[in-house]
């Protein structure tokens, strides 16, 4: 009897130790997840669901699979080398080439920040009737303060809380609507591009697979400096990081899918076209009630604040990487990068009249820059000179190249549609 109790206690201790070890590695993936449940995603997902019902759900599935592979590979770089993607580009590429690619990535971070700030501003306008431009300045200011005054660890905990609240909000929205689950199940796995939908398809892709997130993941993961320890630690970190990425991207897939499901069940089913986020909130009120509209606005606010924070961090990381430096908000190059990201994002907002279309096309801009970042990442992570024995295998390289080519082909389709 005593031996059985000891054995039970020993097993429980081992399970607790394993759980604590796993929790130690959870966090970086959640920071990345925020980037693809941001206000730009809200706009593209509402446009997809309201315009095409359940038909474009497959793009969320495809984009999430791509994202898991790409994000794990970006984190792989940070763990194995101790360099983020921007630093590695500056160290291992010719200056003219690295700066060209990294400046285009800074521009992508600005487009991202513009969408995130705008989403937060729209939510403040919905909730407190603050004028949009003033609300945008408040959003950027609050997020800049959060970055300046908090460590990675504190930001991770804060953003995990934000993501949890966003997820609960959409669970509540789903509980209020009637979903055609057989159609939804088919939509998740059946590729289809209805006439005139390529811009929305590319918007969904750009809203899920975001270039700034690849830079951000490699930065956040390398900041822990596990690469300075032994090979055993690095291999364990690679294993647990994949679990973190898989869990985090799965949460993002579920929330993005929920957005399209709600839009399909509420707007497409009633033949209501959605042209702006404020309109979506107003239309939810008579269709689902005041509480649903309030939850929509509150979730949008959390999404705007969380994603604006990570977009600023990514912009600072990329800009610092141009100077071969890691992200450090107290360092000049990092905070200048954050200031440029927010400042230029706010400046772009001054020239946008149609906020909903602005959100969608910001995501299209991200998808156009994305191949540059993907092929940069493939080159660096496949190079033994950069990665040593942790360089991509042939299978990993083939999978990454397939993703890069798929994104490039979809971009060509988008340009062909815009030209016509």
Query: 16 versus 106: which is more confidently predicted?
Result: 106
What pLDDT is attached to residue 63? 86
292: Cα within 13 Å, side-chain hemisphere? 20
- Kindly report, residue by residue over 11-61, the tens digit of the pLDDT: 554 544 444 555 555 557 777 787 777 777 777 888 899 999 999 999 999
What pLDDT is attached to residue 24? 56
What pLDDT is attached to residue 19? 46
* Reported confidence tier of residue 101, pLDDT bands at 50, 70, 90: very high
* Reported confidence tier of residue 97, pLDDT bands at 50, 70, 90: very high
Distances 61 to 19, 94, 178 between C-alpha atoms, Å: 29, 36, 21
List the domain boundaries for the chain: 38-419
What is the number of residues in the chain? 420
Q: How far apart are CA 46 and CA 263, in angstroms?
A: 5
Which value, in Å, is the radius of gyration of the alpha carbons in the chain? 21
What pLDDT is attached to residue 224? 58
What pLDDT is attached to residue 260? 92
Q: How far apart are CA 181 and CA 190, in angstroms?
A: 14
**Rounded to a whole number, what is the distance in angstroms from the first to the last CA of the chain?**
79
Percent of the chain with pLDDT over 70: 85
Number of neighbours of residue 336 by Cβ within 10 angstroms: 16
Q: Is the pLDDT of residue 153 over 80?
A: no
What pLDDT is attached to residue 42? 79
Q: Which residue is it, tokens 């980037």?
A: 35
CATH number assigned to the domain covering 38-419: 1.20.1740.10
Query: 275 versus 345: which is more confidently predicted?
Result: 345
Q: How far apart are CA 369 and CA 318, in angstroms?
A: 14
- Kindly report, residue by residue over 281-310, the tens digit of the pLDDT: 766 776 677 777 888 888 889 888 988 999
What pLDDT is attached to residue 38? 75
- Kindly report, residue by residue over 193-248, the tens digit of the pLDDT: 888 887 788 777 766 778 888 999 888 887 655 555 567 777 777 777 888 888 88
């Amino acid at each position: 009897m005593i031996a059985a109790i000891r054995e039970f206690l020993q097993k429980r201790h081992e399970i607790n130790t394993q759980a604590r070890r796993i929790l130690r590695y959870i966090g970086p993936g959640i920071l990345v997840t925020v980037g693809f449940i941001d206000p730009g995603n809200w706009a593209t997902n509402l446009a997809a669901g309201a315009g095409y019902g359940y038909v474009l759900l497959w793009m969320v599935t495809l984009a999430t699979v791509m994202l898991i592979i790409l994000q794990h590979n970006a984190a792989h770089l940070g763990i194995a080398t101790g360099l983020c993607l921007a630093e590695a580009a500056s160290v291992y590429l010719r200056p003219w080439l690295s700066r060209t690619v990294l400046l285009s990535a800074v521009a992508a971070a600005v487009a991202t920040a513009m969408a995130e700030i705008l989403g937060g501003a729209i939510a403040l306008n919905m909730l407190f009737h603050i004028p949009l431009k003033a609300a945008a300045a408040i959003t950027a200011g609050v997020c800049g303060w959060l970055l300046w005054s908090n460590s990675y660890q504190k930001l991770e905990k804060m953003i995990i809380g934000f993501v949890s609240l966003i997820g609960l909000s959409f669970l509540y929205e789903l509980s209020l609507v009637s979903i055609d689950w057989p159609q939804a199940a088919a939509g998740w796995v059946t590729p289809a591009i209805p006439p005139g939908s390529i811009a929305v398809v590319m918007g969904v892709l750009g809203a899920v697979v975001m270039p700034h997130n690849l830079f951000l993941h490699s930065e956040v993961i390398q900041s822990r400096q596990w690469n300075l320890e032994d090979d055993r630690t690095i291999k364990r970190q690679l294993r647990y990081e994949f679990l973190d990425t898989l869990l985090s991207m799965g949460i993002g897939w579920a929330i993005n899918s929920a957005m399209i499901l709600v839009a399909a069940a509420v707007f497409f089913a009633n033949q209501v076209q959605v042209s702006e986020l404020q309109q979506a909130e107003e239309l939810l009120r008579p269709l689902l009630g005041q509480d649903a509209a309030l939850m929509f606005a509150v979730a949008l606010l959390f999404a705007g604040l969380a994603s604006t924070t990570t977009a600023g961090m990514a912009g600072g990381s990329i800009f610092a990487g141009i100077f071969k430096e890691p992200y450090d908000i107290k360092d000049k190059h990092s905070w200048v990068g954050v200031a440029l990201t927010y400042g230029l994002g706010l400046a772009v907002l001054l020239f946008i009249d149609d906020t909903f279309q602005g959100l969608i096309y910001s995501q299209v801009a991200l998808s156009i820059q994305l191949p540059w970042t993907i092929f940069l990442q493939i080159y660096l992570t496949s190079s033994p000179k950069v990665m040593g024995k942790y360089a991509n295998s042939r299978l990993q390289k083939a999978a990454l190249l397939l993703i890069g080519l798929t994104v490039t082909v979809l971009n060509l389709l988008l340009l062909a549609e815009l030209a016509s």
